[in-house]
Chains A and B, each alone.
Chain A
Amino acid sequence: MAGLEPGEYPVVVVGSGPGGLQTSYFLSRLGVEHVVITADDAPGGMFRRYPIFQRLLSWSKPDAPVERTTREYEWFDHNSLLSDEPTYRALVPAQMDRSYFVPSRPEMEAGLTAFAKQCTLPIRYGCTWESTRREDDGSLTLTTSDGEFRCRAAVFALGVTEPWKSDIPGIEHVPHYVDTGKPRDYEGKRVIVIGKRNSGFEIADGLLPWARQVLLISPRPTQTSVLALSSVRVRYLQPLEDHELGGGTLALDAAIERVEKTESGFRIFATGTTRPCELALDCDAAIAATGFRTPLRDLDQLGVMTVSQGRIPALTPFFEATGSPGIYFAGNATQGAPGLRKHGVGASSPAVHGFRYNARILARHLAETRFDVSLERPAIAPADIVPYLAHELTHGPELWTQKAYLARVVSFTDGTARDEGVEPLAHFVDAAGPDALAATVEMDAAGEIYPVLYVRRGGEVDERILHPDPVNAFGNPAYIRALTQAVADLT
């Protein structure tokens, strides 16, 4: 694209998957000049190839209780990117043939392509980021295949996309998930899948019609007692049911000690974790569904720290690298900002439906703190505050998607209530700020969903947990009373 030459930009975004596209969209709408550079020749990121079995995990319901062009519809459409303009909303369901309420990979890719094109995002394709350095004035220079891009802030939206294997001796001979063959390559074979999270179960599910037997192995048991908190989505639970019913598939809780190549395949030596035992398992084929890491290249040399065995960058609540100012992350890597983890419930940041909201928060934060853009904080009439918050608790897609992670905030200064927008809950409760009320939707370890209010007065924050509601409508008199009390405490 013309005008996107190497040179100096306020912000450079690296990556054209959903995280990069969403960040670019919001930066554009806030008037922050930037360029998106990507090694790819088309938008879509991982969705240009994966998932292997060509069907996503999360719903986009072409028909829903609310209109497709509304903000509230976002909760029913987990795959489309966000837009302030109704015309660019819900672009994924627009591609769906309705054979299933979860889009296929090509439908997802088409939705992302339509978004990039219709929103005219400034993307330079075929431009590979190669290295990074920090200048004396704190700015960053990204060396690419096309030349140098200099910026005050860089946003890396690289996904968690680099195949990652554990250091089990012999695992180097086992193909990674990304190198899984065609299903018919596994016809009549006994297949061992290393890993029991979504990608492992996706492979097992896809191979059930072909393989002679599928075994899944990892140290951690698959918990499904609370479906909302399971490490595997229900869509892929068929192999687990087969295991439970003794149908031939086995899901084993065992730590693998080593993998040996045999004449006809592999022999895997493992020790049981849930039930102590020694196992030596032969198979004709094996697949390492051991996950991915963020491709950080040389960013560790600029002080970017990591969690999860070096796979994910450690981030602040505003998605800035811990220990390396000016380096931000968008997309799947925003899981590196863990939030409060109340009851062990993680955010939805590893998925599009969660990180698209993180991208809006990041863009607003960058615009305000680094480029002096003044954000709109509309005043709310006193009589409207309680109904507004009740509506947000019941229908706000940010609160429902990012439970106990993002909060709708209303501030109270000099007798005026203002909508501060959606903020990271960790920021609201930890940073000093004006007297304010934050509203969240949260979930406990039993899967109960309920609203929580955080009241900040004189810098102190108190937590007020409200009851769940059988139909998740948080507008009945009990909620109105609690909201009214919280507002009264602040005015």
Chain B
Amino acid sequence: MAAAGSEIDSLSRLALFADLTRPQLERIAHTYEEDMFAEGQRVLRKGFSGSGLYVILDGEARVVLGDRELARLGRGEFFGDVSALLDTPPVSDIVAATALRCMVVPREEVETFLVQHPTVALRMLKVSLQRLADVLEWQA
């Protein structure tokens, strides 16, 4: 089924997808589900198997470990990448901080998705390295 143009436009405005052509964006919009979470609802659960890669289309999410908020993620940012790619359960919870709209790539399709869209993979890699650098800096 064809996706509405506005949906494609909103994908195209995310930095992660900035290099993709319109047909590529249409295929992505047709292939992956969009989920909406109410404020306070859990999206990823620490220790549970089978979770996918989430790209935030709208709203904010909190990265939570126990009672501590580790980080906040906003529009265009992603989560679930580590557990999806390393096939390990998430090490923290992700909770919707506002009404949260995400695109979901199922775990088993993440590698194919990234191989098919190398520019997305490269942009994700840069963000992941930045996150790692932030942790190293904090530890130092």
Contact = CB atoms under 8 A, between A and B. Distances in A.
| A associates with B | yes
Interface of A: 164-168, 171, 194-195, 197, 218-220, 253-256, 271-273, 276, 289-291, 305-310, 314, 316, 322-323, 336, 338, 340-346, 404, 429-430, 442, 444-446, 461-463, 465
A344 B107 contact: yes
Contact of A307 (B36, B45, B52): B36
Nearest to B36: A314
B50 A342 contact: yes
A310 B37 CA distance: 15
A273 B26 contact: yes
A14 to B, nearest CB: 22
Interface stretch (B27-35, B71-79, B128-136): B27-35
Contacts, number: 126
A399 B103 CA distance: 27
Contacts of A166: 1-5
Interface of A is mostly: loop
A302 B133 CA distance: 45
Given A166-B4, A167-B5, A309-B4, A445 B108 contact: yes
Contacts of B105: 344
Contact of A342 (B5, B27, B48): B48
Interface string B100-132: 010011111100000000000000000000000
Nearest to B24: A273
Interface in B37-78: 37-38, 41-42, 45, 47-52
A165 B5 CA distance: 11
Contacts of B6: 309
B35 A307 contact: yes
A255 B26 contact: yes
A338 B6 CA distance: 22
Given A323-B99, A341-B106, A429 B30 contact: no
A296 B26 CA distance: 25
Contacts of B49: 342, 463, 465
Contacts of A306: 36
A255 B4 contact: no
A323 B31 contact: no
B3 A344 contact: no
B2 A322 contact: no
Nearest to B32: A344
A414 B99 CA distance: 38
B33 A346 contact: yes
A197 B3 CA distance: 13
B22 interface: yes
Contacts of A309: 3-4, 6-7, 34
B100 to A, nearest CB: 10
Given A305-B99, A340-B48, A343-B108, A218 B38 contact: no
A322 B96 CA distance: 13
A255 B1 contact: no
A220 B31 contact: yes
A404 B48 CA distance: 12
Contact of B27 (A220, A256, A340, A445): A220
Contacts of A171: 2
A272 B27 CA distance: 10
Contacts of A465: 49
Contacts of B104: 341, 344
Contacts of A461: 45
B29 to A, nearest CB: 8
Nearest to B38: A322
Nearest to A289: B1
A197 B48 CA distance: 31
A305 B48 contact: no
A343 B38 contact: no
Contacts of B42: 429-430
29 contacts: A166-B5, A171-B2, A194-B2, A197-B1, A219-B2, A219-B23, A219-B30, A255-B22, A256-B2, A271-B21, A273-B24, A273-B26, A289-B1, A305-B99, A307-B33, A307-B36, A307-B101, A316-B38, A336-B36, A340-B50, A341-B33, A342-B49, A429-B42, A429-B48, A445-B108, A462-B47, A463-B48, A463-B49, A463-B89
Given A343-B107, A445-B106, A322 B99 contact: yes
A322 B1 contact: no
B23 A272 contact: yes
A344 B34 contact: no
A465 B106 CA distance: 19
A218 B35 contact: no
A164 B52 CA distance: 29
Shortest beta-carbon contacts, A-B, top 5? A344-B106, A166-B2, A342-B50, A445-B108, A314-B36
Contact of A430 (B7, B41, B52): B41
A177 to B, nearest CB: 10
B99 to A, nearest CB: 7
Contact of A308 (B21, B31, B34, B109): B34
B21 to A, nearest CB: 8
B7 to A, nearest CB: 5
Given A273-B27, A445-B107, 11 more contacts: A195-B2, A220-B31, A255-B22, A255-B23, A255-B26, A308-B33, A309-B4, A342-B48, A343-B50, A344-B107, A461-B45
A195 B1 contact: yes
Nearest to A431: B42
Nearest to B101: A307
Most buried by B among A289, A338, A404, A442: A338
A255 B25 CA distance: 9
A309 B10 CA distance: 11
A176 B50 CA distance: 37
